[in-house]
Amino acid sequence: MSPRTLLSITLGDQQLLSTPAELLSSWAIFAVNDLAAAREALARHLYPVGLLLLNNTRDADVIEVDALLEAHQSTQWVGVFPAEMIKRPSYRALIVQHLFDFHTWPIDPARLNHTLGHAFGYAELDGPPAMANTGKLDMALLGQSAAMQHLRKQIGKVAQTNAPVLIWGESGSGKELTARAIHNHSPRAGGPFIAVNCGAMPASLIQSELFGYVRGAFTGAAKEKQGLIESAAGGTLFLDEVGDLPLDLQTNLLRFLQERTITRVGASHSIEVDTRVIAASHMRLEGLVKAGQFREDLLYRLNVLPLTVPALRERKDDLALLTSHFFKVFAQDKKPRLTGFSNRAMLAITAHDWPGNVRELINRIRRAMVMSEGRLITPEDLDLKLPNGPNGSNGQHSGEALEEARLRAERDAIHVCLQDNGSNISRAARDLGISRMTLYRLMGKHGITP
């Protein structure tokens, strides 16, 4: 049985402190005796649990410890202090803001082992479940819903060709992330990826920006300039909101897709360019074709490999993972006391339709992390409403939703713990803090097989 890892930081009067290894035989302990070594250890390895052994530590050192813990909030910290030191404001602030739990001297090995085990289990539950696939693609496109697994499978296929790709998806759904994933998993991954928002570029500049120009082509053209299509040679050009391209530019883009050559503004000869084009739009281009705003022949050229990015409301199974991910990504914005999301907040997140998709989710989470006054983010912090009314009424539907959330959390915890322990029932039961028979009963209840 492989031991669990623990970072032990000892500060203060060393002679008064017990050696952690003598007390915690079930742990693999990496012990340090100063903050510089602790910072170096945390930079090299992610420790799920940290143990602080502080004795007669100066307030200035406690403030440095506070900064260290704030920078490593994914680790669950347990502190051991002299009882009289807890009366000091610096120690009290450290405990309240950063610690999973704390003990006082002298150490009770049984109690401390129990606390550390509980902290380890909490760290395991707090982390996102392991992804089915790894690599750059999955890190960019988070989610294990059926819709996201289908999208990743499609990306893996189209990435291996040089044919144009047309991505459709609602605003904020992740079209550029999808395009980058295609590029990163293609033979062109070593080349440039250049993204252009066709809707944000002035119509008078699009021609020269995309195709470049020669010296003297127009007033102010003091020297020749390479266009974005040329700059992406050997890589990928991503044309976001391609439906906003003016019709005359659509003609030039069509010519490039057909002949693989471009002509700079003011030039008399063409240049061969090896650039793959991925286009995207939040509007259905077929409708623009019928309205006479988009060339039908260009649509056929771009729509060789069509992909659809699912809206967030179509992949609500991914909300818990995405919420946890963005909470950690923007951790620098939050107050030290803030530890996560309340059950009410998660119910409100699940009930919301997310018309702004992932972009809206990010914005609401970042705002809540700044504005929240408590330990947990609430629906009010997110400016979201619970089902059955703004106050989260306790009616039948709300109760059913709470029970469903509890069962889902229980099922996910068991699944992750079994996965992390290689389906070993005894180790999983130990980490969950339950008996083997209870674990078997819960597995049967949720239809989980080892």
User: For the CA atoms of the chain, what is the radius of gyration?
Assistant: 28
The pLDDT score that the predictor gives to residue 404 is 63
Sign of CA dihedral 283, 286, 292, 293: positive
Contact call for residues 50 and 5 (beta carbons, < 8 A):
no
Domains in the chain, please, with CATH?
4-126 (3.40.50.2300), 136-310 (3.40.50.300), 313-382 (1.10.8.60), 396-446 (1.10.10)
Cα–Cα distances in angstroms (integers) from residue 432 to residues 23, 76, 119, 145, in the given order: 22, 16, 11, 26
Q: Which residues of 397-431 are buried (b: 16+ CB within 10 A; e: fewer)?
A: ebeebbeebeeeeebebbebbbebbeeeeebbbbb
What percent of the chain lies above the pLDDT cut of 70?
84
| DSSP letter assigned to residue 213 | B
CB 4 within 8 Å of CB 51: no
Torsion of CA 219, 220, 223, 226, to 10 degrees: -90
pTM of the model: 0.61
In the chain, which residues have pLDDT < 70?
A: 1-3, 13-23, 25, 57, 59-60, 125-140, 216-217, 219, 221-222, 388-406, 408-409, 447, 449-450
pLDDT score at 331: 84
pLDDT at 393: 47
Selection from 420, 422, 417 nearest residue 439 by Cα: 417
Helix (H, G, I), strand (E, B) or coil at 193: strand
